[in-house]
Amino acid sequence: MTGMTRPSPRTVRRLIGVLILVLWEAIPRLGILPELFIPPLTKTLHVLWLDRAIYAAALLVTVYEVAIAMLIACGAGILIGSIVGGVAGVRRLMLPVFSSLYAVPIVILYPVFTAWFGIGSESKIVFAGVYGFFPVMLSTAAGIRTIDEQYLLAARSMGASLPQLITRVVIPASIPTVLSGLRLGGALTIIGVVVSEMLTSANGIGYLVTKNRTTLDSPRVFAAIIVILALSVVYDIAVRAIERRTLVWQAAGRRDAGERGAVLSAQAAA
Amino acid sequence: MQHVANLTGERSGAAKAAVEVRGLSHVYAGRDGAVPALENIELKVPAGRFIVIVGPSGCGKTSLLMMLAGLRAPSAGTILCDGRPISQPDPTRVGVVFQEASLYPWLTAVENVEFPLVLKHAPRAERRERAGAMLNLVGLDGFGSRYPHELSGGMKQRVSIARGLVQDPPVLLMDEPFAALDEQTRMTMGHELLSIWSQTSKTVVFITHSLTEAVYLADEVVVMSARPGRILDRITVDLPRPRTYQMMATDVFGALRERIWLQIRTTP
């Protein structure tokens, strides 16, 4: 097939996307699968439009919970991660503990959180905050620990004080790794909020999934799923934009970030 | 004892020592107890001289340089710079250029050069002017807005040199600054360094593994022994300046190189 240009990966991805949407509409319409399993896309969008007030209100609750949970996860993660990464004694003591905790399915603690904080927003926020905390904390610790010793030595030779070392070297040097942790941690808080809403709740998008599932109202379940998908896509776009903005200098430094990422995942696996 | 340094007043009777090391010894705690790293180092470097330190790996050259920079404290002895002791890094007296590009990848070339001035809270206009002048000096005019990853290895080390010189310290310490460069770039950089040095009249203490580089650059080569590091010999290189590449082919150059090599080789 000489002379034909290969379609770019971007085009292929779009085509696959369109194909999925077409199949989503066609499969139930053609009766290949019952509508209870997959309601047609148009029908799903239609109920989403009809119930837009309900979905908007639920989304607002979910977004509010996600926002607070992210603040907690990122704030506490960065703070504790810096201490664990920066202070050798604390690191030796705590890092193995945190690394193994990361592997614990924290969702098992959710019933405990509902007992402590009720079934309102508070328990979701705390649960999702804890859920998102670990990757932020671990990547911050890894980011600080893997800073090139030479950077610190050079700064000291130029007369940097300890606060200057931190603000001028440690923070900028660890930003790439910390950002990758924030991205993962943020995504986990969205999961945490939605899952906890699905488990025990009276509000939020996750609650709409559960509620409509029990009444076998598939179009409304899928409508809620679409809203959640949209939420995570928006989140991803926002984080990418922040990353692009912050990491101009990283354009060719991807190798470094890759190495640090590997350190992080090795640590998470440990 | 060659190292009882009285080659001092060679250039002019009034030349005072820019760097003076007295009775310096260093012992560090290793796995099996105390390890002597440096033993009784006496060194006087007259102002404006280009001194090169050579020695086998692990002879404590880098430790010595760290101490000269005030980055590490010796177990015993004193280091004077400009007649005053160095107890902590002081970039207005001693500039340091490290082995590998220790430039900050998140800063542009000019921001890297002005970094020491930022630490001192110098006004922005003054910083830019000084940093621009330094980039000009090292031949990087017009490259100020590039990030380190957009520069070649040689250019990065030029930026490092500019950064070391930006506060106009009388002394410049260089820890194998060209070790990571390929041979051609290395020779070019050595030549460039000599030209910068002749324009700035700094005292340079330069560490290297390359004997050719040592002889080519130095007024005087200090030969150190394997651990514990001691000064074995101080060799005056009386090749005329400015140095040229042709000098490397001369018998004098070869003889000096040979003399250093024999000292290092016979040290176990």
The mean per-residue pLDDT over the stretch A112-116 comes to: 90
Q: Give kind and range of the element (H or E) at residue B21.
A: strand B17-30
Residue of B nearest to A162 (CA): B119
Query: Could you tell me if residue A16 is inside a domain?
Result: no
User: Got the DSSP string for B94-159?
Assistant: EEEE-SS----TTS-HHHHHHHHHHHTT--HHHHHHHHHHHHHHTT-TT-TT--GGGS-HHHHHHH
Given CB atoms, is B118 within the 8 Å cutoff of chain A? Answer: yes
Q: Cβ distance B138 to B150 under 8 Å?
A: no
- pLDDT at residue B101, as a whole number: 67
Q: What is the ipTM of this complex?
A: 0.84
**Contact yes or no for A159 and B105 at CB 8 A:** no
How far is the C-alpha of B243 from the C-alpha of B230, rounded, in Å?
29
Does residue B233 have a pLDDT over 70?
yes
Query: B151-166, pLDDT tens digit by residue?
Result: 888 899 999 999 998 9
- pLDDT at residue A185, as a whole number: 92
Query: A235-268, pLDDT tens digit by residue?
Result: 989 888 888 877 766 654 444 444 444 444 444 4
Q: What is the average pLDDT score of chain A?
A: 85
Given CB atoms, is A248 within the 8 Å cutoff of chain B? Answer: yes
Q: Which of B70, B118, B149 sits opposite A253 (nearest CB)?
A: B149
- pLDDT at residue B265, as a whole number: 78
**Contact yes or no for B106 and A249 at CB 8 A:** yes
What CATH number did the domain enclosing A234 receive? 1.10.3720.10
Does residue B117 have a pLDDT over 80?
yes
* A49 vs B62 pLDDT, higher one: A49
Query: B68-112, pLDDT tens digit by residue?
Result: 988 888 888 889 888 888 888 888 889 999 887 689 998 999 999
How many Å separate Cα A171 from the centre of its chain? 22
Given CB atoms, is A149 within the 8 Å cutoff of chain B? Answer: no
Reported CATH class of domain B15-93+170-266: alpha beta
- pLDDT at residue B37, as a whole number: 85
Exposure string for B125-154, b = 16+ CB within 10 A, e = fewer: eebbebbbebbebbebeebbebbbbebebb
pTM of the model: 0.77
Query: Could you tell me if residue A31 is inside a domain?
Result: no
Chain A residues inside the 8 Å CB shell of B70: 157
Q: Which of B119, B147, B148 sits opposite A159 (nearest CB)?
A: B119
- pLDDT at residue A18, as a whole number: 93
- Which of 103-132 (A) contact B at CB < 8 A? none
Does residue B39 have a pLDDT over 50?
yes
Q: How many independent structural domains does chain A possess?
A: 1
Q: Cβ distance A102 to A138 under 8 Å?
A: yes
- pLDDT at residue B1, as a whole number: 41
Query: A164-208, pLDDT tens digit by residue?
Result: 999 999 988 888 888 888 889 999 999 999 999 998 888 899 999
Query: Could you tell me if residue A8 is inside a domain?
Result: no
Domain boundaries in chain B? 15-93+170-266, 104-168
- pLDDT at residue B2, as a whole number: 42
Q: What's the domain range around A65?
A: 39-269
**Contact yes or no for B105 and A250 at CB 8 A:** yes
Chain A residues inside the 8 Å CB shell of B96: 154, 157-158
Given CB atoms, is A246 within the 8 Å cutoff of chain B? Answer: no
Query: A34-57, pLDDT tens digit by residue?
Result: 888 889 999 999 999 999 999 999
Amino acid at A73: A
Separation in Å, CA of B157 to nearest CA in chain A: 13
- pLDDT at residue A248, as a whole number: 65
- pLDDT at residue B4, as a whole number: 41
**Contact yes or no for A158 and B147 at CB 8 A:** no
The mean per-residue pLDDT over the stretch A133-142 comes to: 91
Separation in Å, CA of A149 to nearest CA in chain B: 9
Mode of pairing for the β-strands spanning B33-46 and B50-54: unpaired
Does residue A58 have a pLDDT over 70?
yes
Given CB atoms, is B120 within the 8 Å cutoff of chain A? Answer: yes
Q: Which of A157, A161, A172 sits opposite B106 (nearest CB)?
A: A172
Does residue A70 have a pLDDT over 70?
yes
- pLDDT at residue B38, as a whole number: 87
Q: Provide the β-strand partners of residue B207.
A: B53, B175
First to last CA, chain A: 49
Chain A residues inside the 8 Å CB shell of B106: 172-173, 175, 249
The mean per-residue pLDDT over the stretch B8-16 comes to: 45
The mean per-residue pLDDT over the stretch A15-24 comes to: 92
Q: Cβ distance B150 to A252 under 8 Å?
A: yes
How far is the C-alpha of A265 from the C-alpha of B128, rounded, in Å?
41
Q: What is the average pLDDT score of chain B?
A: 85
